[in-house]
Each structure stands twice: as C-alpha cells, then as structure tokens.
Amino acid sequence: MQNNLLKKNEVGVFALGGLGEVGKNMYVVEYQDEILVIDSGILFPEDHLLGIDYVIPDYTYLFENQDKIKALIITHGHEDHIGGIPYLLRQVKVPKIYASGIAVGLIKNKLEKHKGFRVPIIEYQEYEKIVLGKLSISFFRTNHSIPDSYGIAIHTPEGVIVHTGDFKFDFTPTGPDASYHRIADLGRKGVLLLLSDSTNAELTDFTKSESVVSENIKDIFTKIDGRIIVATFASNVHRVQQIVEASVATNRKVAVYGRSMLRTLEVGRDMGYIKAPQGTFIDPHHLKRYPNEQMTIICTGSQGEPMAALSRIAAGTHRQISLQNGDTVIFSSSPIPGNQEGVSKTINMLFRRGANVITNSPLTDTHTSGHAGQEEQKLMLKLIKPKFFMPIHGEYRMLKIHSKIGINTGVRKGNEFVLDNGDVLAVTRRSARVAGKVQAGSVYIDGSGIGDIGSVVIRDRKLLSEDGLLSAIVTVDKETMKLVGQPVITSRGFIYMREHEELTSEMSQLVGTEVQNKLSNSTTINISYLKKTMTRVLSKYIYDKTERNPMIMPVIMIVNN
Amino acid sequence: MQNNLLKKNEVGVFALGGLGEVGKNMYVVEYQDEILVIDSGILFPEDHLLGIDYVIPDYTYLFENQDKIKALIITHGHEDHIGGIPYLLRQVKVPKIYASGIAVGLIKNKLEKHKGFRVPIIEYQEYEKIVLGKLSISFFRTNHSIPDSYGIAIHTPEGVIVHTGDFKFDFTPTGPDASYHRIADLGRKGVLLLLSDSTNAELTDFTKSESVVSENIKDIFTKIDGRIIVATFASNVHRVQQIVEASVATNRKVAVYGRSMLRTLEVGRDMGYIKAPQGTFIDPHHLKRYPNEQMTIICTGSQGEPMAALSRIAAGTHRQISLQNGDTVIFSSSPIPGNQEGVSKTINMLFRRGANVITNSPLTDTHTSGHAGQEEQKLMLKLIKPKFFMPIHGEYRMLKIHSKIGINTGVRKGNEFVLDNGDVLAVTRRSARVAGKVQAGSVYIDGSGIGDIGSVVIRDRKLLSEDGLLSAIVTVDKETMKLVGQPVITSRGFIYMREHEELTSEMSQLVGTEVQNKLSNSTTINISYLKKTMTRVLSKYIYDKTERNPMIMPVIMIVNN
C-alpha cells in the first residue's frame, strides 16, 4: 500500500506511540517504499484498577505496510522501548531487529518466552553505519538509566534525521561518557530534523549526576550498623553496581530478591556491568548465616508494586526476610506519578515494623532521573542545530515546553512540531508540513489476550468499580406469555442485599409487574425492548432509593419451547 | 456505660480518626463521666474509583457513651475537621458545638442542608475559658490555610492537655499572628500532654510564608497581559483575598466560578476576610463585557476534580468560559498525593487549548502548605514543653518521624506515644500508659447511604474493576431434577462475549454438564453446593483460556413448583 499522504521526495516521520504520553514508544521513518521502525514499547497504565496489564500501540499501519519494513531499531532496553516486540512480531512481519549491548540480552530473554519467533537480532556497534536500502543509520552513545543507550541518526536522501532515544548528559557517569563529538559532528554537517526526549522538560535544572547518587549511597552505608535493604529499578544496572560497590566497601555480603532484579544481576554479571569480589553475592536462602551488619539486600518494589519483594517484606509476607529493629530501608528511586499512594503505604508499613526508611529527597539524593532536564535539552539542541524540531517522548505539556526550548535555542519559529500519535510530518531538505494522519491508538493487554479488551469493557469496569452491579432475571413462558415465578434480583459490589430484603422484594415486584404489562400488550417477546424496560425501571427506582447507579444487567430466560 | 479501661483518676485520650491517615479527625478526651470531642471530620478516599464519596469514623463508642458528652469542640473549618458533623449528629446526641469565626458559618451552612438538627453552635473567643463540668477549655490562635484556626487547651484535674489543631508558624501571615504568648504561657505553667499536627513531619524546612506567595502572585500578575485564571482551594480564604488584591493592583475585575468558591466569596465577604473596592467583582455571566487584560477568573478545580470549574474549562465544556490564546492559568495549589494524575491531565488539556500554565514550583512559589514543617514542630514542642507527647494528624511514618522530633527537642524517651485510632492513652499527672482499645474504624459513605457499604462490597468493586463479572444462570426443574434449556452465560467488563461465541457456548455446556451430574447424583437441590460447583468449574476454565479472573455470579432458578 502506497502512503498517499507523502509526495515522492518527502520523508514521512510519525509516532505510533510516545506522543502525549510517557510510554509505548514507537516512531516510524518512511521514505518511498521503505520503512524504518524505531523502538516498540509498552505503556503501563496509570490506573492500576481496571485490570489492564499494559497498553501497546495499534499496529494496523505497520501491518498494512509490512512489506516496506526494513528493520526495527532499538535505542535501549527499557520496557517502554522493547516491551511491545513480542506483540508486534505476532502481527507484523519484521525482517530484522537492530539493538545493542544489554538490550540484545533483554530482547532475547523476552522472545524466548514466546516461542516461534525467528527474527534475527543484530547487535549494532556505535562506529557502524548500516545501509538499509535508500536509508542508512548510524549511532551515538547517550547517558541514561540503563547501560547501552543510543541515539539514532537516519541518513535520508533529503537530510539527516536524529532521534535522541532517552538521554541525559551526565558529565561524571557511572558508565562511559555520551558521544559528545559524534553528536557535535552530526550538527556540524547539518541535521534536517531532531526528535528529542521531552520527559523532563519541566525540570529547570540539569539532572543530577549518577556519581552524586553513588557518593551519597556510599556515605549512607558507612553510617548504618544494621542490615540494609535497598529498593531500586531492576533495569538500572549501574545503580545496582553502585549499591554492590558500597556494600563491598563496608564489608557487606549482597543478597538479591525479586525476579526482575535477579535477571538484572544475571545479565549484568554476564556482560561485565556488575562486578564484585568472589563471595560477595550469597544465596538468598542463606541469609541467616550472616550477621545483620554484614548484609545488604537488593530488591524490587521501589514503586510499591503489591507483589514485589519489598512490598511483601513490608507486609510481613516475605518467605525469607522478616524485618527487625535496626533494619534500614533505602529507596534508591522516586515514585513515578500514579505510584505515590502505593509507595506511601509501603513506607508506612516499613515504619510500623520498626525499620528506618531513607527516601530520595534533596537531603539524601539517593536517586536521579535518567532523562535530560531543560539545560541538557538545550545542549542537545545547540549541538545538533536542527532545521526542524519535533519533541517526542512526553505528555502534551512536556512536548509543548520542549518546543519552546527549541525556539529559544535557535529553531526558527514555525519549524517546531508538537504532534499527536499518527500525525505524519513530511519533510524535505527545504520544507516540513503535517501531511495528515495514519491510524494510531491504544490496544489493551490483559492476561494472555491481545486487544480483546476494548474501550466498552474498560468503561464497564469503571462503572462496576463505582457502584457495582445489579442483575434482574426474568423467566418468561413462551406459550402463555406469562412470567414464571418472581424475578430474581442479585448483585455484586452494590450493597449487602441480604440486609435490604425489602428493597430486593420491591425491585422484584416492580420488574415483574412492568415486564408482565409489556408482555400482555404484545404478541411476541421483544427481548431487547424488555431488557431496556427492566434497566429503566430499576435504575430509576434504585437511584431514588439510594442515590446510586449500579450497572443493571437484565436477563430474560425463555422456557417452554 | 463506664469506661472500664481507665482508673478513676486517669484522663483518657484517644482518636476515633486522624491517626495513621490524613483525614476524619476526631479526638476524644474522657475524664470520669465526662467526654469532650475535638473535631468531627471526613476523609476523602485516596482511591476515587470505588465509588466511595468519603469516609467517616465509626461513632459506636460515642453512641454508647453519649450521655457523657459535654461538647464537640471544633478547631477550624476544614472538611477533615467538620465534614462529619451531620453524620455524627444523626447517630449521637451532642449537647452543643463550640466553634469560632468562619467555622461557625461553614457548620451552619452544612447543617441547613440536613434539616432537623437543633444543636446550639456557640462561638468561642480566644480570650475565653469555658468550664464544661470537671474539664475546661481555652484557646490559642494558630496560622493555617483557613482563617480562624485554633489550638485547644483542655484543663483537667491531672494537668493541661494541648491539642494544636492544624497549624504552622507564619511570621508574616496574611491574617493575624499566631498567639505566641498564649502558647508560651501554657508551656511555662506546665503541659501534661501535647497532641500536635504531624502532616508535614517529612518536610525538613520551615513552611514558606503566605506573604511570599502573595508577593509572587502579585509579581506574576504584573507580567501578564492576557486573561488570568487562578485555581486554588476554596477554603483558603486568605489566598483568595491575595488574588483579589493582585487583581485590583493590576486593574482587573474578578469573576468567581465553582460552587464552593462562590460560598467562600460569600462567607469571606460577610466576615470581612475578602475586601475589594466597589465594582471589583462582576457577575460571571457578564464576562464578555470586559477585555481580557482586565479579567481575573478565580475557580475551583486545582486538584483536577473532573466536575470542577477548571476541569470543565480545560475540557472545553464550561458554559461561560472558553479558553483563548494568551490566557494564563495559575495553579495556586499543589496536588494532594493521589490527585497528581488528574492534575496532570488537566494541565495537558490546558496546554492543548493554547493556555499558558504556571504551576507551583521552587521557581514560582504560587502556593504554600498550611502545616508546620519540622522546624515549626520543634518550636511548638519547645514552647509547650510537654511531659508526654502524642503526634496526631498524619500517616504512620509522619507520626513516627514527629515522635523522634519530640524526643530530640526534650520529651523524655518512653514518654512519646505513636498510636492507632482507638488506642486509649491514660494519663495522670505522673504517668501515661496505653490502657487498651475502644472500637474505632471506617464507615464508607456512598450516595445517600451511611455505612451500608461494607468492606465486602468494596472488595467486590475492586474485583469487578479488575476483570469484570461473568454470570451463569441455570434453570432447574424441581420435579424432574433436570436442567431446563441451556445455562445462560452473560458478562460485563470481562471481554466482548459476542466476539467469543465459542467460549460462551463451551462455558454453557461445561456448566450444564457439571450441574446435571451433581443433580443426578442427588435427591435434593443443594443450591449453595451447586453455586460453588459452577464457580469452581467456570473460574478454572476461564483462567486456563484467558488468564483472567472475572468475578463469577452463579444463579440457580428453580421452576415447576
């Protein structure tokens, strides 16, 4: 299928996910009959109550244009950039995946669980330039909260498009430096369009360096006599290494808990990111063999996730670890918006069990973000000097603020594009315009299914969660057109019906009378009409009596056939 | 009923709400046959999805001891201190209510809506000492985010108990000063027990002064040419006055939107807290008569509440106000934990409609808290010099941190009490002990009902919200013990059943076979057993097929009787 939004010499650039949201990143660069896809992420829904595990982009456009796809290119190994790969591969033919370093391990690990994928995963190196038809790609290393994060330069016949990936500039990083000179070189030679990370566009500062956090963690460790429990993001391999180093420096053994943290440890040690003297890591089952002052526990649960290790420790339901007076819990993390309540509950429980708790604050600095603040965004813009600018990776206000930063640092007014998912930016060496829209949206993943949860189901769950459900079941004799017995009223999540027998019997009578009336005035059983009638009379009656609006589920059973 | 937890000379002090939570404040001081109740608040549930409007304390203890109650004393007019009064009065006989200033107006306003309450509301003055049987009370003014906030001193035969109410120390307040000398005088004469506000125990600073906010708001106003929309807490009367003053200083008219904000304006002007030259306030319907640069709009919705004025403005559904380019929205507020997502959505929508948005940040300082930071908590402790210390008004970790602050400022170790709601502290001039527990808990208010929503209903709503509900209805002929027709499967919030007809028909067959089996092996219809069987087979089948756990609602209809 030809993309009829684009003229022949135009390069199309658009997001299928990542604009107006933090998550499910997926950007597409299209030129004539070729498509490059950058990243394939998931989004963790803000609202944990509606039973949705995560959200992926609508892949329809890619499915319909799958013959054009040359490759999927991964910037780094975070879930909001790689988590959607198994779902994408089930629906869309992708000839190969390019990724680097730890992302390769994480993607392979992910695909092993979903058998039958045979797509080659090719590891790219920073110095490479890879030709993929009329387009080619090169790379530059950035700093981020997972090792091996890269920005991508897409070399098109119309000019270079730079996608920063997730980045910050950390002048004293735990891992290697960002490739300042490669970035500067791209800018010197001329960049047509910059797509840049907007996550921290509201932060007026420079994001703090990892080495500040590292120093603080070491400092805190030297002051603590008892057992130390540190919760952090499992993907932050550098941070885990810092915690290990602080433990070694204070003569502590390290035990690791939580599935994703154990995977980090395994991959991190395999790849040489996590290093420690022989005997530092102990078997989690041997915890009791070591005195408290010689133990560090690293675990998941820094976001208050109910099933994670730290939450179970706090609740007293962890199999191996029970809190003791003198234990100190360090959060080397900040709550992601939406998780504050969960984190707050965890902290309260930890305090109740007598633990000391150290959270990230301006006084402790036990955590720093992986994303560029405004000053770093400006530095990127100054180095890249793009003709056109499209802020990506952020909610609308972040994109908007970032676009202003672009203009303040030299992008010509009118050359900045704050877009939505699906909006196609068509660029040539001279011009840029919004050419139209391709299909983009959200697909909900719940349990093992893909996309069988639609917005109606979500809306129903929301209604159910507010006032519960009330069901009325009416049995009709097909021949006599008379009700059989009394309508049955039953409910869940509404009120205790057993304590409201009067209400129940009134509802049953009301529905019975109303349905019998309609039946008596009719010669056929119009099920949909009867159901509407039942819903109407019950809704009104219940609201009048209780000021509530439970969902009404009318059921009509027909007997005697 | 005698409180058999207390010895005759002991004064009992306990909370029915306010410990381990921020909200539904209610503290009780009991001495022999007399009870004083301090505050009667509600709690807004953190989780807005379960359809609970708010939570009140369990009043059982007060109901059973209502003959002992001498008075309800109100510290200030916030909902978490007065919102429960109508519910309390419906259940418990309260002879009189003491309140002061704006709280009197707000309580009267509240009780007018609930007719039939004849309890006298007596306005106290700061210089008064009121004798209520063997106990008497006096007052000291504090600073807080609503005018007329007071601390209460309860003079008992065993010594003085001080309850700070909600407070901060603002050395340059918008309203009158706190009563430093009255507080110091209490301390000088000797205080047995201090109950002090713990809300900001995690804040290592002094809470910023209202006058800093006032200056910043004025400063921002002078820099803005277009229309200004300010959202703040309706109860923060001083803040509203500051916004009015900034408007007058920059030649702006003021229009006020939102029901609670209009009430603030009315009460505030009546009481002289809100003052402006004639003609400053305009009729909200006449908005279009004035040019944009001469308009300030003050409205509700600073917490992203979906139905509040600002949210409707942001969504484009407000009847009178539609956003224009050049409009500036100022949040003179901070999001309360749990509201971040709603606020974030509102801000994104405002940006989309082209408005500039100024939120509270270290750069703008458009808001400050009404609660004491650690330094102020220390000052209170230093001035009061209590023998015993019970941190109140906060989640567990806040109480715990505050208790340590108490010890660091001179409370003897062991004399601090971090308690839960219902825990009775028994004090005499020489001793303090936790004497036991009275009934305390949460009552959920939803719609017009009181307390008919129990924890089972809440749990059901949570389950419903996660995977929805699936109902299976089986009709059994009583005489033949055979199923009539096929079982009917219906669902809400699960998956689109119409798109999964195979699943539905398999479930129907499975349930039918299973129930018929059980019936054939039996001579009577054991409804509860059959229901359990239906739930079991369906749960397993559904989980195997979909990895989901919808709530199962089995229904058995019996015919032919």
What are B279's two structure tokens?
């003609």
Residue with the two structure tokens 């349990």: A447
Gap between the Cα atoms of A247 and A240, Å rounded: 11
* Residue B1's pLDDT band (cuts 50, 70, 90): very low
DSSP letters for B130-191: EEETTEEEEEEEEB-SSSSEEEEEEEETTEEEEE--S-B--SS-SSPPP-HHHHHHHHHH-E
What are A443's two structure tokens?
């697909």
Gap between the Cα atoms of B330 and B327, Å rounded: 10
| Residue B318: burial class (beta carbons within 10 Å; 0-12, 13-18, 19+) | middle
B62 to B15, B337, B518: CA distances (angstroms): 12, 31, 52
Strands B135-142 and B149-156: antiparallel
Interface A-B, measured as beta-carbon pairs within 8 A, has a size of 193
By residue count, chain A amounts to 561
* One-letter amino acid of B8: K
The pLDDT mean for chain A works out to 91
Q: State yes or no: A235 annotated in a binding site.
A: yes
Pick the residue with more confidence: B107 or A4? B107
Pick the residue with more confidence: A458 or A199? A199
On chain A, the residues whose CB falls within 8 A of the CB of B546 are 447-449
User: Region A201-212: what's the mean pLDDT?
Assistant: 91
Secondary structure letter of residue B258 according to DSSP: S
Phi and psi dihedrals of B135, rounded to 5? -105, 155
Binary contact (A492, B460; C-beta < 8 A) = yes
* Residue B480's pLDDT band (cuts 50, 70, 90): confident
Q: Yes or no: say if B334 and B363 are a contact pair by the CB < 8 Å rule.
A: no
Q: Which of A187-201, B306-320, B416-430, B485-499 has the lowest mean pLDDT?
A: B485-499
Gap between the Cα atoms of A63 and B53, Å rounded: 45
Is residue A399 scored above 60 in pLDDT? yes
State residue B389's pLDDT score.
98
User: Region A515-540: what's the mean pLDDT?
Assistant: 89
Nearest by Cα to B40 from B28, B30, B53, B52: B28
Nearest by Cα to A471 from A554, A380, A379, A413: A554
Is residue A559 scored above 90 in pLDDT? no
Out of A460, A495, A557, the one facing B475 most closely (by C-beta) is A557
- For A11-205+369-436, CATH gives 3.60.15.10
The pLDDT mean for chain B works out to 91
Binary contact (B337, A337; C-beta < 8 A) = no
Residue with the two structure tokens 């669980």: A113
Is residue B519 scored above 70 in pLDDT? yes
Gap between the Cα atoms of A471 and A463, Å rounded: 14
Gap between the Cα atoms of B479 and B488, Å rounded: 21
Model-level pTM? Answer: 0.83
Q: Yes or no: say if A426 and A34 are a contact pair by the CB < 8 Å rule.
A: no
Out of A51, A462, A494, the one facing B467 most closely (by C-beta) is A51
Is residue A382 scored above 60 in pLDDT? yes
Secondary structure letter of residue A452 according to DSSP: E
Secondary structure letter of residue A127 according to DSSP: T
**First-to-last C-alpha distance (Å) of chain A:** 53
**Model confidence over A34-78: pLDDT tens digits?**
999 999 999 987 655 566 778 899 999 999 999 999 999 999 999
User: Region A316-325: what's the mean pLDDT?
Assistant: 91
User: Nearest CA of chain A to the CA of B86: how many Å?
Assistant: 18
Nearest by Cα to A29 from A191, A199, A187, A162: A162
**CATH class of domain segment(s) B11-205+369-452:** alpha beta
User: Region A441-450: what's the mean pLDDT?
Assistant: 73
Residues pairing with B473 in the sheet: B488, B555
Gap between the Cα atoms of B338 and A342, Å rounded: 10
Phi and psi dihedrals of B38, rounded to 5? -110, 115
Q: Yes or no: say if B105 and B271 are a contact pair by the CB < 8 Å rule.
A: yes
Nearest by Cα to A465 from B47, B306, B464, B549: B464
Is residue B361 scored above 80 in pLDDT? yes
State residue B238's pLDDT score.
92
User: Region B371-392: what's the mean pLDDT?
Assistant: 97
Q: Yes or no: say if B18 and B24 are a contact pair by the CB < 8 Å rule.
A: yes
Residues pairing with B559 in the sheet: B477
User: Region B449-475: what's the mean pLDDT?
Assistant: 77
Strands B11-17 and B26-31: antiparallel
State residue B47's pLDDT score.
59
State residue A282's pLDDT score.
95
Gap between the Cα atoms of A80 and A269, Å rounded: 23
State residue B500's pLDDT score.
72
Secondary structure letter of residue B75 according to DSSP: S
State residue B122's pLDDT score.
97
Gap between the Cα atoms of A332 and A514, Å rounded: 62
What are A112's two structure tokens?
């092993």
State residue B414's pLDDT score.
97
Is residue A439 scored above 60 in pLDDT? yes
Gap between the Cα atoms of A246 and A296, Å rounded: 9
In CATH terms, A453-559 corresponds, of 3.10.20.580, 3.40.50.920, 3.40.1210.10, 3.40.640.10, to 3.10.20.580
On chain A, the residues whose CB falls within 8 A of the CB of B50 are 465-466
**Model confidence over A106-118: pLDDT tens digits?**
999 889 877 778 8
Of these ranges, A282-291, A438-447, B547-556, the one predicted with the greatest mean pLDDT is A282-291
Gap between the Cα atoms of A318 and A300, Å rounded: 12
User: Region A295-307: what's the mean pLDDT?
Assistant: 92
Q: State yes or no: B286 annotated in a binding site.
A: no
| Residue A263: burial class (beta carbons within 10 Å; 0-12, 13-18, 19+) | middle
Q: Would you tell me the crossing angle of helices A259-270 and A102-113 to the nearest 10 degrees?
A: 130
Is residue A194 scored above 60 in pLDDT? yes
Out of B448, B465, B471, the one facing A51 most closely (by C-beta) is B465
On chain B, the residues whose CB falls within 8 A of the CB of A495 are 449, 452-453, 457
Is residue B400 scored above 80 in pLDDT? yes
Instruction: For residue B111, give the 3-state DSSP assignment.
Output: helix
User: Region B441-464: what's the mean pLDDT?
Assistant: 73
Binary contact (B465, A469; C-beta < 8 A) = no
Asked whether this chain's domains A11-205+369-436 and A210-358 adopt the same fold, the reply is no
Binary contact (A50, B460; C-beta < 8 A) = no
User: Region A183-195: what's the mean pLDDT?
Assistant: 97
Element (H, E) at A269: helix A259-270
Give the residue from A492, A531, A553, A558 with the most B CB atoms within 10 Å of its CB, the best one to mutate: A492
Binary contact (B452, A548; C-beta < 8 A) = no
Out of A341, A475, A551, the one facing B337 most closely (by C-beta) is A341
Smallest CA–CA distance from A359 into chain B, residue: B202
Q: Cβ of A222: how many Cβ atoms within 10 Å?
A: 9
- For A210-358, CATH gives 3.40.50.10710
State residue A172's pLDDT score.
93
Domain range summary for chain A, segments of one domain joined by + = 11-205+369-436, 210-358, 453-559
Residue with the two structure tokens 């800093």: B212
State residue A514's pLDDT score.
92
Residues pairing with B22 in the sheet: none
**Model confidence over B134-184: pLDDT tens digits?**
999 999 999 999 999 999 999 999 999 999 999 999 999 988 999 999 999
* Residue A1's pLDDT band (cuts 50, 70, 90): very low
State residue A450's pLDDT score.
58
Binary contact (B473, A557; C-beta < 8 A) = yes
Residue with the two structure tokens 């676009």: A403
Residue A379 backbone zone (phi > 0: left; psi -120 to 50: alpha; other: beta): alpha
Residues pairing with B551 in the sheet: B469
What are A276's two structure tokens?
């420690």
Gap between the Cα atoms of A413 and A403, Å rounded: 10
Compute the CA torsion angle A164, A403, A41, A161 (nearest 10 deg). -40
- For B454-559, CATH gives 3.10.20.580
On chain A, the residues whose CB falls within 8 A of the CB of B457 are 468, 493-496
Residue with the two structure tokens 């420079």: A206
